């Protein structure tokens, strides 16, 4: 599902709001989620938990040149789904 698909689905469920309002809502929601992940953790009951973790630098081989390259430490986002999410996915099949 793309961001525009999410806006369309929200418009179907809440027709009293304009498309522009829904786009603004989705943008604000994503900003809040980004800020929460930067802070360390977001827990959405019944959906899952987003956490951020700093990945250490490591050495790897460049596929073309075969040179050893050292990566820099970076922050990565991890998602652990709630127990209910896989059950809902299986029900739809």
Identify whether residues 79 and 59 lie together within a single domain: yes
Query: Which residue from 29, 54, 43 is spatially nearest to 79, judged by alpha carbons?
Result: 43
Segment 87-92 mean pLDDT: 72
The reply to whether 59 and 28 lie within a common domain is no
Q: Do 21 and 33 belong together in one domain?
A: yes
Looking at residue 76, its pLDDT comes to 92
Q: Are residues 29 and 44 in the same domain?
A: no
Considering the domain architecture, whether residues 49 and 32 belong to the same structural domain is answered as: no
Domain holding 48, by residue range, is 40-93
Residues 87, 56, single domain; the answer is yes
Residue 8: which pLDDT band, with cuts at 50, 70 and 90?
A: very high
Looking at the 3D structure of the chain, how many domains does it have? 2
Q: For residue range 9-61, what is the model confidence (pLDDT) as tens digits?
A: 999 999 999 999 999 999 999 999 999 998 889 999 989 999 998 899 999 99
Please compute the mean of the pLDDT values over residues 51-74 and round it to a whole number. 93
């Amino acid at each position: 599902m793309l961001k525009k698909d999410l806006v369309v689905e929200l418009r179907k469920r809440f027709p009293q709001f304009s498309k522009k309002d829904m786009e603004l809502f989705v943008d604000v929601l994503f900003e809040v989620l980004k800020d929460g992940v930067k802070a360390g953790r977001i827990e959405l009951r019944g959906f899952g938990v987003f956490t951020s973790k700093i990945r250490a630098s490591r050495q790897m081989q460049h596929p073309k040149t075969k040179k050893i390259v050292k990566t820099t430490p970076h922050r990565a986002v991890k998602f652990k789904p709630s127990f209910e999410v896989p059950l809902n996915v299986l029900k739809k099949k």
